[in-house]
Amino acid sequence: MAMRSLTGRAMRMALREHVAAFVIVQMVLIFIALMLDFADSFESIRAAAEGRNLVAVIGQYTLYRTADIVARLMPVAALLGAFLAEIRRRALLETVILSAAGVSALPTIAALCWMGAVTGWLQWKLERDWRPAAVFAQVELGAGDYAERYAEGLTDDQHWFVREDSALAGRVLVGPQPELREVSYFIGLNGAGFDRLIRADTVRPLGGGQWEFEDAEIWTSTPDGRLIGLPAQTMELPLWFQTNRLRYLNPSAYYLPQEVLLTRAEADPEDPYMRTTIWRRGTAWLLPGLFSILGATLAMTGFRGRVTRVPILVGMAFGGYLVTLSLKIFWALGEQGALSVPVAVLIPPALALTISAVLQWLMHRESRGRRLPLG
């Protein structure tokens, strides 16, 4: 009996309905997001297409943006698609007939688990690999908001890199071969000043943590507050940050390629931003399946016998929206260090699972003649 629930006809019928609803909702969300995006970005797309085929550039841009949009909205599509699928099945009397025949919600849950295995893998792959690759492919294409925010080239302003008693300021040449320009490197910082200041026109990475300071002037602070300078020279010094810190200067952690993210997290294991992103990517596979089960369960509570309880359906839809909204809220709390990173990342999926389990238990009790506290 359990095997039939996992693979039988009722499960396959539910799977077909839920896959169709998920795909339709996801496509609608992609279409809406792309239309809003094109309204803001079309001029930059036209500029990027100068000397190239405009249709080809639009196609590339659409592909890159779709990867980013799907990564953001798949949990929402999973919840909304499952919610609408259950309403449709009810309207077609499919679930009424199955219930009258003594079939429980288990085949539906099994169908959502099968679908969640596939969509979960897609979500994990998008978060970990495809979304970061798409973002930087868009930067290389030179079109859209990301291309403007993360453009390669020399920054207008100086950027500061600080560690304990050292600080370095300079303009950054962002690109495959990053370097620093107009550099001021303060060594031995204390409440009264610094011990040494090294100024250099250019600082280039040499590998192994060593950097070349080109045309460097060394200024040493004396006890009476004067600075004594030495003639310009080229010198090699170690710095605490890695080349990829310059190559990926501005992007948020969740846009970083996986190897870069892990390298930065290893360099600063206590950084909650990096740790939250690692946990997000590691648990991404849970979200579509759990949110699908939540969406279907919320819809199921809106019906009793042949009666459709519209206020409860509306309330459940709003509650599902709040659970999806909690993802960003708890992720932000983890990134700011306000909550333990594992706790912040795991609360939303745990909340979805708990709500689903409690509601399924209550509906099971109702099916045995015990009134639900749901109206």
> Tell me: the pLDDT tens digits for 313-345?
999 999 999 999 999 999 999 999 999 999 999
Q: Which two tokens stand for residue 106?
A: 């288990």
- What is the tally of structural domains in the chain? 2
24/128 same-domain check: yes
Q: What are the pLDDT digits (tens) for 113-161?
A: 999 999 999 999 999 999 999 999 999 999 999 999 998 899 999 999 9
Q: Give the end of a domain, one of 242, 261, 280.
A: 242
- Asked if 162 and 229 sit in the same domain, the reply is yes
One domain for residues 276 and 354: yes
Assigned domain for 248 exists: no
Quick one: 76 and 102 in the same domain?
yes
Q: Which H helix or E strand runs over 199?
A: strand 196-207
- What residue type is 169 in one-letter code? A
Per-residue DSSP letter, 200: E
**249 lies in some domain:** no
Instruction: Phi first, then psi: give them for residue 99, nearest 5 degrees.
Output: -65, -40
Is the same domain home to 29 and 135?
A: yes
Q: Are 287 and 120 in contact (CB under 8 A)?
A: yes
Q: Tokens in use for 29?
A: 């969300």
Number of neighbouring beta carbons within 10 Å of residue 151: 13
- Residue 208 structural domain: 153-242
- In degrees rounded to 5, what are phi and psi of residue 17? -65, -45
Question: Do 217 and 289 reside in the same domain of the chain?
Answer: no
Looking at the fold, whether 276 and 127 belong to one and the same domain comes out as yes
Q: Please give the Cα distance from 347 to 323 (Å, whole number).
A: 10
Rounded to an integer, the average pLDDT of 9-16 is: 90
pLDDT digits (tens, 9 = 90+) for 35-76: 999 999 999 999 998 989 999 999 999 999 999 999 999 999
Do 237 and 351 belong together in one domain?
A: no
Interhelix angle 341-367/272-283, rounded to 10 degrees, is 40
Q: What pLDDT digit, counting tens, does each position of 234-279 carry?
A: 899 999 988 999 999 888 899 999 999 999 999 888 899 999 999 9
Query: How many angstroms separate the CA atoms of 172 and 152, rounded?
Result: 10
The contacts of residue 193 (CB under 8 Å, 6+ apart) are 221, 225
Domain co-membership, 323 together with 184: no
Dig out the tokens for 248 from the structure. Answer: 């990926």
